[in-house]
Structure 1
């Protein structure tokens, strides 16, 4: 809203109603899932049967809670491994890309930058199929012609990591590049003139400036990897991450345990997202 433009008396109320309906639309499914995960009922439905934490903690023949469900806990472990690898690899490449695109000038820079952005506009399923087809063709070609069996190029955790890394690294690059673009390069030049090495300049001046963007990128990459489904579905092998395990369970029918998993993910994701926002809003002079 622009304050200088005359507005009718009904406009503020209409705008407030629109915003309220919009957020209710976003939050209602999440609240329903949270309520069903705490409902003392064998089925995720009304009526309310009373408050319980059984779907998180129970370990009885009748009820097996989230933390005692071996298959789900194993899939959470797989997702943590994949998300950690993707986050580390994506941020390391993103730092290199940021310096390449922000500090260097070379022929074909615009084309290379555009190619880097392509994975963001490709549907996840198509991206996963492309990565899988490339890896499988390379593995089959080497095995047929040279007898070399590169199992990691076939469906499995390595391919899941590479598939997610192919587009998450681009997002991390954009975040870190935006931070680096605001950096005063004269600070580095002054340190170099005073006798500091390039590594010392990077470690003591540039890196502290980039730290909020790097931490934010790690959090964003971790969350995007942990909750990715489309690309992961195409590339997964025998070790299924959490999203694939939940998808398999949903085909059998929704259960309160799945609601408990969803609530846990909402709380963890919300906490990490708030941490990312807090880190990103730190003042430049405070690292």
Structure 2
């Protein structure tokens, strides 16, 4: 009604202008980061000195490219291992949570559901500090009482995985739960009537239906884990993931185009994974 009314042309133009400004606001920092990754200058700033791929592939100083920077590559590898572990754990537990809250009926169900969602609204800094304090107190208590050192509760890769898992599993749970709510329970009942076992029904009917959501949830978990900084900062040990490595490089050396090159690489990788996530969730045409 508003579009057809008086002044609809002005309202439509204003809306389009707002959408354009919104996307420019989102894209401008990404475009700037991408542009300086190809600038033939030792500083990510204007003026433009010419096009170069040195910040990606050069193997000598002072323009050491990201693919020859051992510290950045080590951080990339650590981030990848953490993200894969967190994604696998989060999808498994998220699937279990989905069955629990969709199919289960137990006292305090709504309370526990709210408790599961709660980590999403807690700042990452608070989560990191809380997990570190809890793990350290438990490790110190066990060491004093039993002279037993629990290394996995000290800052390091395992604690980072557990810390990220504590809130990322909420995301996967919500994604898979939304998919499970759309499932037609009569399909399982028909399979049971035909003599199928519970494990067989789960393997051949229910999990295939959930597979798109599980893959999408795994991709989201991977991306959130890979780029996480706030929680990871308090739990990291000697093996620093890429986000911490880049932050340390910024503090000690300052901004350099090689960090822009890393940003371009991450943007492209994230875009590809996001596209895969959309494709696997797309409904197949009915025949």
1:260 corresponding residue in structure 2: 261
Report the CA distance shift for 1:2/1:102 in structure 2 as closer, same or farther (over 3 A).
farther
Q: Deviations over 1:130-160 (max 9, x none)?
A: 1111111111010000111101101111110
Check the 8 A contact 1:36/1:44 in 2, yes or no: yes
Aligned length: 286
2:3 and 2:12 in contact (8 A); partners too: no
Q: Which residue of 2 aligns with 1:85?
A: 85
Deviation at 1:166, TM superposition (A): 0.3
Partner of 2:135: 135
Q: Does 1:209 align with 2:209?
A: yes
Question: Which aligned pairs between 1:148-159 and structure 2 lie closer than 5 A?
Answer: 148-159=148-159
Separation (CA, whole Å) in 1 of partners of 2:2 and 2:92 = 42
| Alpha-carbon separation, structure 1, partners of 2:105 and 2:73 | 48
Task: Check conservation: 1:212, 1:282, Cα contact below 8 A.
Answer: no
TM-score by length of 1: 0.97
What is the CA deviation profile of residues 66-119 of structure 1, one whole-angstrom value per residue up to 9, with x for unaligned ones?
Answer: 000000000000000000000000000001000000001010111111110111
**Distance in 2 separating the partners of 1:104 and 1:7:** 53
CA contact (8 A) 1:33 1:262 kept: yes
What 5-or-longer segments of structure 1 have no aligned partner?
none
Q: 1:203 to 1:2 in 2, by over 3 A?
A: farther
Using a 3 Å threshold, how does the CA distance of structure 1 residues 5 and 167 change in structure 2: closer, same or farther?
A: farther
Distance in 1 (alpha carbons) for counterparts of 2:285 and 2:57: 44
How far does residue 245 in structure 1 lie from its aligned partner after superposition?
Answer: 0.5
SS at match of 2:8: coil
Moved more, 173-182 or 4-13: 4-13
Q: Residue 5 of structure 1: CA displacement?
A: 5.5
Change (3 A) 1:222 1:284: farther
Distance in 2 between residues matched to 1:139 and 1:129, nearest whole Å: 15
Query: 2:285 & 2:87 partners in 1: Cα distance?
Result: 23
Aligned to 1:115: 115
What is the DSSP-based 3-state SS (H/G/I as helix, E as strand, rest coil) of the residue aligned with 1:237? coil
Corresponding residue SS for 1:213: helix
1:230-270 CA distance string (max 9 Å, x none): 00001111110000001011112100100000000011011
CA offset digits 1:157-192 (Å, max 9, x no partner): 111000100000000000000000000001001101
Instruction: Say if 1:190 and 1:60 are closer, same or farther in 2 by CA, change over 3 A.
Output: same
Secondary structure of the structure 2 residue equivalent to 1:39: coil
Call closer, same or farther: CA 1:9–1:257 in 2, change over 3 Å: same
What is aligned with 1:27? 27
Q: Using the alignment, how far apart are the partners of 2:140 and 2:247 within structure 1? A: 30
Q: How many Å apart are 1:282 and its aligned residue? A: 2.7
Question: 1-side partners of 2:272 and 2:193: how far apart?
Answer: 43
Which whole-Å CA distance do the structure 2 matches of 1:275 and 1:57 have between them?
27
Counterpart for residue 61 of structure 2: 61
Cα pair 2:34 2:261 within 8 Å, conserved: yes
In structure 2, runs of 5+ residues without a counterpart are none
Task: Give the TM-score normalised by structure 2.
Answer: 0.97
Q: How far apart are 1:218 and its partner, in Å? A: 0.5
